[in-house]
Amino acid sequence: MKNYFAFLAFVQVALGAAVATVKDVTIDVVNAQLAPDGFSRSTVTANGQYPGPPILVNKGQPLRITMNNKLTDPTMRRSTSLNLDGIFFGSQDVFEEAEPFVNACPVGPNATFVYNVPLGEQTGTFWYHSELSVQYVDGFRGPLIIYDPADPHSTLYDVDDVNTIIQVGDWWQSSTLPLLDNYVATGVVPVSDSGTVNGIGRFQGGPEVPWAVINVQKGRRYRFRIINESARNVFTLSIDNHDMTVIAANGVNTQPLTVQKMDMLAGQRYDVVVAANQAVGNYWFNAPFVGGNPAVNPHQNATLSRAIFRYAGAAKVDPTTPMTLGPADGALVEADLLPLVPTKVLTPDVSMTFNLVVTTGKAQWNINGVSYLSPQTPTLEKVIDGATQAADFNVTENTFILPANKTVEIIFPPTDDDDAHPFHLHGMTMQVIKSMTSNNTNTVNPISRDVVGVGGSGTTIRFKTDSTGPFMFHCHIFWHKFAGLASVQLVDPVDTPKNVQVTPAWEGLCPAYDALPQELQ
Ligand SMILES: *[C@@H]1O[C@H](CO)[C@@H](O)[C@H](O)[C@H]1NC(C)=O
Ligand SMILES: *[C@@H]1O[C@H](CO)[C@@H](O)[C@H](O)[C@H]1NC(C)=O
Ligand SMILES: *[C@@H]1O[C@H](CO)[C@@H](O)[C@H](O)[C@H]1NC(C)=O
Ligand SMILES: *[C@@H]1O[C@H](CO)[C@@H](O)[C@H](O)[C@H]1NC(C)=O
Ligand SMILES: *[C@@H]1O[C@H](CO)[C@@H](O)[C@H](O)[C@H]1NC(C)=O
Ligand SMILES: *[C@@H]1O[C@H](CO)[C@@H](O)[C@H](O)[C@H]1NC(C)=O
Ligand SMILES: [Cu+2]
């Protein structure tokens, strides 16, 4: 309850009137037997569902999530850790970030942890997932939407509710422990069996699971909040006969931009407006993906990743038009997106270059020659105990010490492979100075986002170190993260211990975790 009343007073001022009531959410992390693509397997879930239940809050509403770890299945990790992707925690609450071994230790089985999330000024489309190892691949992922009562785009759409959240994700029929063993043995990144739209998919040779249905009414305009909850695959989204107008990317409003299809990298979100202005009927919502060689996994068939876009009054049947991969042209170009509110471009105080290199034939990725390995003691705890300089961390912790209140630039040089690594920065957003799919730089009016594609013709980002503490900066292809494609951006370790206000519950996490036998970790 720290600073609770001060915070409430702040929110009251911010909202001008209404008292912001705390939104209480309980997440029971449980194993469940599910068959998203028709193949039944044991999973790790929030409240027994895949995807997990949506967490819906209003701007500035304090969120309190009670997470009860009830995992029992020994074929998957039994500890866990909840991350709210893209949410800023600020200097005081950076310990709630829950990046294992950076901000906190994981939560063991039969334990409960309460996350107090000060939602501040952020609005838009986010998601939550397990941040421990690659556990979210086993199912623990779901949406987090922060509604803005004064949304500047509100005149562009009529409908924005729980039914307009669209979640796409890759799905594996095997649990992650054997997948990881095989990855380590071969260096081949696991290839998904299927793609799911709102938790439903099909695999080649599998049963004809009824497609997910997105229901619309003719004449209305819908704000779809599309979340890529994938751990590897890139999805290309389109709706037959319908345009999509992008109005926000990763929780940051953009100027409206109309496209016919868009690529989304893991962890990315786009809010789009779609007008239901065609004849009443059934249309395909195409969500084909690319991710690994289908020859490695014959279940994989990108064409089977789709849903039905159905008008009220249409027969409850599949569209009769061919299943395509979407239109050939009209793709969203990230560099064409502009912020709704013009942003001042940041001038770098510190500039770094990150070279990403894979060790051929191994499950190992390096940033500037270093493959990240989690330490046993979280970075934040080391900082609280007095670590202030690079020499206080093992080289393999890949920890970059940064000054507070400065602008950091990171340049990713062009690469000659065709990997796109969706780099995700915790705790802050990045200005996209150069997008990987454009040769141009934007030093006038760049968009800001918390996941940016790295690869291709090169990427340049800048961010302001306006929170202190350690922030994970990693590839959101969690297989690559596991293989070391990660770093810690440690802002102002001298002031961090004064600014952060850890709780006894947080202090108890590491002793409890370290005392667990390895199979329960
Ligand atoms: C969790 O609690 C249940 C019920 O009390 C018990 O059967 C189980 O052994 C406990 N698991 C662990 C890992 O402590
Ligand atoms: C989701 O992210 C993965 C991994 O980057 C990517 O392959 C896939 O295309 C993305 N899907 C969508 C719909 O953006
Ligand atoms: C993938 O599925 C589509 C639709 O059922 C089918 O036409 C196509 O032949 C399948 N591809 C492969 C390689 O089997
Ligand atoms: C520390 O780094 C070295 C390589 O510099 C590595 O071999 C060792 O495993 C690391 N130790 C820990 C505890 O991560
Ligand atoms: C950074 O800015 C904040 C807010 O203005 C201020 O409180 C803090 O002292 C600054 N930190 C440093 C190291 O200058
Ligand atoms: C970027 O420049 C390279 C080399 O001139 C060219 O091959 C490529 O097509 C350009 N890419 C785009 C998106 O314009
Ligand atoms: Cu990657």
Task: List residues, by chain if needed, whose CB lies under 5 Å from ion ligand 7.
Answer: 421, 475, 477, 480
- C-beta of residue 423 within 8 angstroms of C-beta of residue 454: yes
Ligand 2 contact, 263 CB (< 6 A): yes
- Cα–Cα dist 199/51, whole Å: 6
Extract the runs of DSSP E, i.e. beta strands, from 131-281.
141-147, 165-171, 194-197, 212-216, 221-228, 234-239, 244-249, 252-259, 262-264, 269-275
pLDDT tens, residue by residue, 2-52: 344 444 444 444 444 445 799 999 999 999 999 999 999 999 999 999 999
> What atom in ligand 1 is closest to the CA of residue 110?
1
- Tell me the one-letter amino acid at 268: Q
Query: 31 forms bridges with which residues in the sheet?
Result: 44
Nearest residue to 367 via CA among 352, 381, 382, 356 = 356
pLDDT of res. 16: 42
Q: Return the residue whose CA atom lies nearest to atom 13 of ligand 1.
A: 109
Distance 271 CA to ligand 6 centre (A): 28
Distance 90 CA to ligand 6 centre (A): 39
Ligand 6 contact, 439 CB (< 6 A): yes
Distance 453 CA to ligand 7 centre (A): 9
Q: Return the residue whose CA atom lies nearest to atom 8 of ligand 1.
A: 110
pLDDT of res. 11: 44
List of domains in the chain: 2-152 (2.60.40.420), 162-336 (2.60.40.420), 350-518 (2.60.40.420)
Ligand 4 contact, 371 CB (< 6 A): no
pLDDT of res. 7: 43
pLDDT of res. 19: 54
pLDDT of res. 269: 86
Mean pLDDT per 10-residue interval, the chain, length 521 residues: 41 48 96 98 98 96 97 96 93 94 97 94 93 93 96 97 94 94 92 94 97 98 91 86 95 94 83 98 94 88 96 98 95 91 94 95 95 97 97 97 98 86 93 94 92 94 97 93 96 98 97 97 96
Which residues neighbour 400 within 8 Å (Cβ) at sequence distance 6 or greater?
352, 487, 488, 489, 490
pLDDT of res. 389: 96
Q: Does an H or E element contain 74, and which?
A: none
Ligand 2 pocket: which of 197, 233, 452 to mutate (most atoms within 8 A of CB): 233
- Cα–Cα dist 210/317, whole Å: 10
Distance 354 CA to ligand 4 centre (A): 20
pLDDT of res. 235: 82
Distance 97 CA to ligand 1 centre (A): 27
Ligand 4 contact, 373 CB (< 6 A): yes
Ligand 5 pocket: which of 405, 406, 499 to mutate (most atoms within 8 A of CB): 405
